[in-house]
Amino acid sequence: MISILLPFRNAARWIQETVQSIQEQSYADWELIAVDDFSTDSSNSILEELAKKDARIQIHSNTEKGIIPALQVGLSKANGEFLTRMDADDIMPEDRLQIMVDRLKSLPAKSIVTGKVKHFSNKPVSDGYLNYDAWLNKRVEKEDYFDHMYRECVVASPNWLARTDDIKNSAIFEKLEYPEDYDMTFHWMQNGFTIQGVNETTLLWREHPHRTSKNSDIYNQKALFQLKLNWFCKLHNTDSLAVLGAGTKGKITAEFLSKRNIDFGWYDLEWKKYGAPIFNKEIQDFELLVGAKLLIAIYPKNKKPLLDFLTEKGFEIGRNAWFL
């Protein structure tokens, strides 16, 4: 059986369609564990009506506000051999659960299965989300998730399947911090999990102006950088560290490192325009780039010239260099 965790808060506009997509799954052996995160709309009553007709649906109340405690409540109620998460405004393609569980059954312990994603909306989907779709789907095709951990969250939060015991035994939900979806992928890496992808689209991701990721400070750029850079410092030796790029992301990175008294060399492609030091650091000519590890705070559309240059300097993405 698959336990599906569904935290929800004020999702009345979409939750019936979301649950219907779960009920229409070709794989029918599931339980839906919905956790109400203090909704003030009719979300709960909609689910109660659905639960009257489908015994696989159970509804619980969150113990305190937020997705992390909601996930913890949901996990404590999970009885399935397998575990997945769904958001209350998205859609499951009808074969998602079957495809994911078939793949996971063929994999060893501490495996995560994910798939491709596709945003949808009643308006044109923004370029930002289309680009993120393409980036995530490229990770599935290349199977290089951990090489790109410090760029973005490499697995969409409602688009993974794991063995429940693997998650429980690693106590991952007990350790989560916001932004929780991104944090979880680092816990997977730290605990020796592998991520495997299926080529099918397994999540239809709804874009709308009320998405939590658009409206909460815990998902803004600075919060993401705080999380990823904390993890970088936890997982890597920071001796002989270099940062390439002095734009917005470079400055956030430099500020973070400076506040923690972590020494680093700072380089930029347009180094001449920075006349004075920033955070007491001089920005140097990128041609002089040296270091044992490199954080890359630029992301050009055509990355080949940059990658060729980094190769000449002895850097390899995922080994001693990472895009931010």
Q: DSSP string of 90-116?
A: -B--TTHHHHHHHHHHTS-SSEEEEEE
Give the residue ranges of DSSP H helices in 236-313. Answer: 248-259, 304-312
Domains recognised in the chain with CATH numbers = 2-216 (3.90.550.10), 236-323 (3.40.50.720)
Q: Which two tokens stand for residue 124?
A: 């044109």
Cα–Cα distance, 185 to 194 (Å, whole number)? 10
| Tens-place pLDDT, residues 294-305 | 999 999 999 999
Does the pLDDT value for residue 152 go beyond 80?
Answer: yes
Collapsing DSSP states into helix, strand and coil, what is residue 81?
coil
Q: If you search the block for the tokens 């004020």, which residue do you land on?
A: 10
Lowest mean pLDDT among 15-24, 64-73, 273-282: 273-282
Higher per-residue pLDDT: 306 or 217: 306
Mean pLDDT computed over every residue of the chain: 95
* Cα atoms in the 13 Å half-sphere on the side-chain side of 159: 30
Could you tell me the pTM of the whole model? Answer: 0.94
One DSSP character per residue, 176-214 reads --SSHHHHHHHHHHHTT-EEEEEEEEEEEEEP-TT-HHH
Q: If you search the block for the tokens 């919060």, which residue do you land on?
A: 223
pLDDT given at position 210: 58
pLDDT given at position 275: 84
| Tens-place pLDDT, residues 79-89 | 999 999 999 99
| Tens-place pLDDT, residues 100-141 | 999 999 999 999 999 999 999 888 889 989 999 999 999 999
Q: Which residues contact 160 (CB under 8 A, 6 or more apart)?
A: 84, 85, 112, 113, 114
pLDDT given at position 213: 56
Does the pLDDT value for residue 218 go beyond 90?
Answer: no
Does the pLDDT value for residue 284 go beyond 90?
Answer: yes
CA angle, residues 79, 80, 82, in degrees to nearest 5:
145
- What confidence category does residue 216 fall into, taking pLDDT thresholds of 50, 70 and 90? low
Does the pLDDT value for residue 269 go beyond 80?
Answer: yes
pLDDT given at position 222: 85
- What confidence category does residue 196 fall into, taking pLDDT thresholds of 50, 70 and 90? very high
Does the pLDDT value for residue 73 go beyond 80?
Answer: yes
Does the pLDDT value for residue 161 go beyond 60?
Answer: yes
DSSP lists the bridge partners of residue 241 as 264, 293
Give all strands (DSSP E) within the chain, no chain letters: 2-8, 30-36, 57-61, 82-85, 111-120, 160-163, 194-206, 241-244, 264-268, 283-285, 293-296, 321-323
Sign of the torsion formed by the C-alpha atoms of 309, 315, 317 and 321:
negative
The answer to whether the beta carbons of residues 115 and 201 sit under 8 Å apart is yes
pLDDT given at position 311: 98
